[in-house]
């Protein structure tokens, strides 16, 4: 997921590998699923 820069991910405490796992799980709605954390 390239939409969010790494420093922004660090601010919300989510690593890129976690996002990749989440988007694999909910590929159709990566941003919406991310916002539900």
pLDDT at residue 5 in the model: 74
Q: How many CB atoms lie within 10 A of CB 18?
A: 13
Domain residue spans of the chain: 6-35
Radius of gyration over every alpha carbon of the chain, rounded to an integer in angstroms: 9
How confident is the model over 5-37, as pLDDT tens digits?
777 766 766 666 776 666 665 555 556 655 555
pTM of the model: 0.25
Give CA–CA dist 22/24, Å, rounded.
Answer: 5
In the numeric block, which tokens belong to residue 13?
């405490």
């Amino acid at each position: 997921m390239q939409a969010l820069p790494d420093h922004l991910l660090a601010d919300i405490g989510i690593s890129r590998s976690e996002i990749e796992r989440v988007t694999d799980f909910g590929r159709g709605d990566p941003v919406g699923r991310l916002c539900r954390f």
